[in-house]
Structure 1
Amino acid sequence: MSRRLYFLLPDIGTAHRVVDQLKQNDVSEDDMSVVARDSVQTSDLPQADVSETSDLVGSAERGAAAGGVTGVVAGLAAMAFPPAGLAIGGGLVAATGLVGAGFGAWASSMIGIRHDNSQIETYEKALENGQVLVMVDVASERVDEIERVIQDAAPGTKVEGTDAHKSDADT
């Protein structure tokens, strides 16, 4: 399991210095994301993708669960009260559950993509004030080491969070 570290840096220059130090300590650019207000030039730094900056993933997960339950209930209702005397089997329950989950995930993701990720919302005021948010995914056993690298590159920086994060290697 990996951990996601969140930390704020005072400016883009410090962000460059920290990212360079992380690269020198075998942290891949794919495991780093930088978020700043729109007026800050971050194109030469690892960019956060839409799944990190929006509530896309969380919304899709919640929508799939709600849609799946709704679909199963609809399938069970169709079995209990079959239309026009049709014999309806358990396959319909599974099918309506899957269709409901798919539709729920799709509909919810359309809503979620328009909302900020709740983790990033926590830092919204700091971002508006010109600070830069950096997110780094590291193996659990490297958290202390990476925190020291961050401290060496930007003394006084406080790692704000160490959320559990499932990486591609964990799946």
Structure 2
Amino acid sequence: MRRRLYFVLPNIRSAQAMMNELLLDRIDENHIHFHAQNEQIIAQLPKAGAIEKSDVIYSALAGFVFGAIFGLLGGLLAYFVPWWFGEVALTVIPYCMVIGALACAAWAAAVATAAPGYQLRAHRQQLEQGNILMVASVPWQRLREIRQRLMLHHPEALYGGVWPAEHRLFP
């Protein structure tokens, strides 16, 4: 399982230095992404895609659950109202659940790509000022080590948090 680290960087030199440091920490380039208001600034750095910029995965999961629930209700309606739908077998319920789950998951994911993600909205003001947002997906076992090293070696970078958040279940 991986966690996303968010850092706000003041310029392109700082972004390149942070990327080099993460590469030395054996974080693959596919797990490091940058986002800026002006995309031309970060031309040679890996740009953030739809998954990093929006809440596509969480929206798709929520759409899958709600679609399955609505499919269950639709299947029950089709089964218990034979005068409206005709005689249907009891197997219509799982079919409706699967179709509803897949359709709602696809719809929710498509809608989520149009809106900025939760974490991106938190850094909108800093991005409008010309800063660069770095999103690094790191293994959760090495999260504290990498975060402390980056904060120590790059004091100009503002730490923007981790997603999903760290929670301690027991003190």
- Matching residue of 1:88: 88
- Matching residue of 2:8: 8
Structure 1: any 5+ residue segments left out of the alignment? Answer: 166-171
Cα 1:85/1:56, change in 2 over 3 Å:
closer
| Separation in structure 2 between the aligned mates of residue 120 and residue 85 of structure 1, nearest angstrom | 46
**How far off its partner does 1:88 sit?**
2.4
Runs of 4+ in 1 over 4 A off after TM superposition: none
Deviates more, 1:6-15 or 1:121-130: 6-15
1:116-135 equivalence runs, <5 A: 116-135=116-135
Verify the 8 A CA contact 2:23 2:29 in the aligned structure 1.
yes
- Matching residue of 2:43: 43
Cα 1:83/1:143, change in 2 over 3 Å:
same
Structure 2: any 5+ residue segments left out of the alignment? Answer: 166-171
What CA RMSD, in Å, does the superposition of the two structures yield over aligned residues?
A: 2.1
What's the CA shift string for 1:12-46, capped at 9, x where partnerless?
Answer: 21111111111122111111111111254212112
**How far off its partner does 1:60 sit?**
2.1
- Matching residue of 1:99: 99
| Separation in structure 2 between the aligned mates of residue 83 and residue 43 of structure 1, nearest angstrom | 62
| TM-score of the pair, normalised by structure 1 | 0.85
For these two proteins, the number of residue pairs brought into alignment is 165
Identity rate, percent: 25
Cα 1:107/1:43, change in 2 over 3 Å:
same
Secondary structure in 1 matching 2:34: strand
Cα 1:84/1:40, change in 2 over 3 Å:
closer
Secondary structure in 1 matching 2:116: coil
What's the CA shift string for 1:139-166, capped at 9, x where partnerless?
Answer: 222122212331244125342212239x
1:1-171 equivalence runs, <5 A: 1-83=1-83, 86-164=86-164
Verify the 8 A CA contact 2:53 2:120 in the aligned structure 1.
yes
**How far off its partner does 1:86 sit?**
4.2
Secondary structure in 2 matching 1:160: strand
**How far off its partner does 1:115 sit?**
0.6
| Separation in structure 2 between the aligned mates of residue 17 and residue 80 of structure 1, nearest angstrom | 64
| Separation in structure 2 between the aligned mates of residue 25 and residue 110 of structure 1, nearest angstrom | 35
| TM-score of the pair, normalised by structure 2 | 0.85
